[in-house]
Amino acid sequence: MYSQAKSTLAKLLKFAGNYKYLIIIACFFSALSSILSLFPFIAIWFAIRDIFAVLPNLTQAAGTLKYGWLAMGSAVLSIIFYYISLLSSHLAAFRVEKNMRQQAMHKLISLPLSFFKQNNSGKLRKIIDDNSSLTHGFLAHQLSDFAGAVIMPLAIVAVLFLVDWRLGMVCLIPLVVSLLFLKQMMAENTAEFMNKYLDALEDLNSAAVEYVRGIPIVKVFQQNVYSFKDLHNSIKRYQDFASEFALSCRIPMLNFSLAINAPSLLLIPVGLLLILNTSNYQSFLLDLIFYLLFAPICVTMMTKIMSASENIMVAREAINRIENLMQTNTLLEEKTKKQTNRNDIKFENVIFSYPNSSKPVINKLSFNIPAGKTFALVGPSGGGKSTLASLIPRFWDVDSGQIKIGGINVKSFAEEDLMSKIAFVFQDNKLFKGSIKENITMGKPTATHKEIKRAIQLAQCSDIIAKMPAGLDTILGTAGVYLSGGEQQRITLARAILKDAPIVILDEATAFADPENEYQIQQAFEALVKDKTVLMIAHRLSSIKNVDSILVIQAGQLVEQGTHNELLQKDGIYKTMWQEYQTSIAWQVGEEKKYA
Ligand SMILES: Nc1ncnc2c1ncn2[C@@H]1O[C@H](COP(=O)(O)OP(=O)(O)OP(=O)(O)O)[C@@H](O)[C@H]1O
pTM: 0.62
Name 552's bridge partners. 378, 560
Smallest CA-to-CA distance from 158 within 16, 23, 38, 264 is with 38
What DSSP string describes 434-470? SBHHHHHHTT-TT--HHHHHHHHHHTT-HHHHHHSTT
Question: Would the CA dihedral through 433, 438, 439, 442 be positive or negative?
Answer: negative
**Which residues does residue 504 pair with via DSSP β-bridges, in sequence order?**
423, 534
Atom of ligand 1 nearest to the CA of 387: 18
Adjacent-strand bridge partners of 424: 505
- Residue nearest to ligand 1 atom 30, measured at CA: 382
Q: Which ligand 1 atom is nearest residue 384's CA?
A: 18
pLDDT confidence bin for 589, thresholds 50/70/90: low
For residue 381, report the distance from its CA to the centre of ligand 1, in Å: 8
**How far, in Å, CA of 324 to CA of 312, rounded?**
18
Q: How far apart are CA 388 and CA 553, in angstroms?
A: 9
Q: How crowded is residue 257: how many other Cβ atoms within 10 Å of its Cβ?
A: 16
**518 falls within a domain:** yes
**Of 153-157, 176-180, 248-252, 262-266, the least confident:** 153-157
Query: What are the beta bridge partners of residue 440?
Result: none
Please say if the pLDDT value at position 389 is more than 60.
yes
Dist. CA 400 → ligand 1 center (Å): 19
Query: Does some domain include residue 352?
Result: yes
In a domain, 338, yes or no: no
Measuring from each residue's beta carbon to the nearest atom of ligand 1, which residues come in under 6 Å? 117, 354, 361, 379, 381-387
Q: At what angle do helices 143-163 and 165-185 cross, to 10 degrees?
A: 150
How far, in Å, from the CA of 388 to the mean position of ligand 1?
9
For residues 49 and 196, membership in a common domain is answered with yes
pLDDT higher at 319 or 455: 455
126 & 263 share domain: yes
Domain count along the chain: 2
> Separation of 385 CA from ligand 1 center, angstroms?
8
Which residues does residue 347 pair with via DSSP β-bridges, in sequence order? 367, 403
Do 437 and 509 lie in one domain? The reply is yes
| One domain, residues 397 and 288 | no
Say whether both 293 and 354 belong to one domain: no
**Which of 114, 363, 386, 398 gets mutated to test ligand 1 (max ligand atoms within 8 A of its CB)?**
386
Parallel, antiparallel, or unpaired: how do β-strands 400-405 and 408-409 relate?
antiparallel
Last residue of a domain, one of 272, 292, 324: 324
Same structural domain, 9 and 86:
yes
Ligand 1 atom nearest residue 379's Cα: 21
Residues 529 and 413 in one domain: yes
Average pLDDT over residues 43-68: 79
What is the identity of the amino acid at 432?
F
CA of 361 to the centre of ligand 1 (A): 8
Provide the pLDDT confidence category of residue 453 given band limits of 50, 70 and 90: very high
Average pLDDT over residues 12-41: 84
Q: How far apart are CA 524 and CA 423, in angstroms?
A: 14
CA-nearest residue, atom 24 of ligand 1: 381
Give yes or no: residues 245 and 374 share one domain: no
CATH number of the domain bearing residue 357: 3.40.50.300
Q: Is residue 335 included in any domain, yes or no?
A: no
Does residue 383 share a domain with residue 288? no
Cα–Cα distance between 527 and 236 in angstroms, integer?
53
Sequence-ordered list of residues with C-beta below 8 angstroms from that of 431, at least 6 positions apart, any chain: 439, 476, 483, 488, 491, 492
Confirm whether 340 is domain-assigned. no
Cβ burial, residue 519 (10 Å; 0-12/13-18/19+): middle
Section 356-366 average pLDDT: 90
Q: CB-based burial of residue 221 (10 Å sphere; 0-12 exposed, 13-18 middle, 19+ buried)?
A: exposed
Q: Is residue 337 part of a domain?
A: no
Q: What is the pLDDT of residues 70-110, one digit of tens each?
A: 999 999 999 999 999 999 989 988 888 888 888 888 777 76
Expressed in angstroms and rounded, the spacing between residue 140 Cα and the centre of ligand 1 is 47
| Mean model confidence pLDDT for the chain | 82
> Does residue 514 carry a pLDDT above 70?
no
What is the extent of the structural domain holding 46? 2-324
- According to DSSP H, which parts of 60-164 are helical? 63-110, 113-118, 121-125, 131-137, 143-163
Q: Would residue 74 count as lying in a domain?
A: yes
369 and 316 together in one domain: no
Average pLDDT rounded to a whole number, residues 268-284: 82
Residue 10 has φ and ψ, to the nearest 5°, of -60, -40
**Selection from 408, 323, 378, 333 nearest residue 509 by Cα:** 378
Q: Is 334 part of any domain?
A: no
| ipTM, interface predicted TM-score of the complex | 0.96
Protein residue whose Cα sits closest to atom 26 of ligand 1: 381
Spell 521-560 as b/e; 16+ CB within 10 A means b.
Answer: beebbebbbeebbbbbbbbebeebeebebbbbbbebebeb
In total, the chain counts a number of residues equal to 596
Q: How many CA atoms lie within 13 A of 584 on its CB side?
A: 10
For ligand 1, atom 23, name the residue with the nearest CA.
Answer: 382
Closest protein CA for atom 17 of ligand 1: 386
Q: Strand order in 557-562's β-sheet?
A: 422-425, 503-507, 533-537, 374-378, 549-554, 557-562
For 418-449, what is each residue's pLDDT tens digit?
Answer: 888 998 887 666 777 788 898 898 878 888 99
298 and 391 share one domain: no
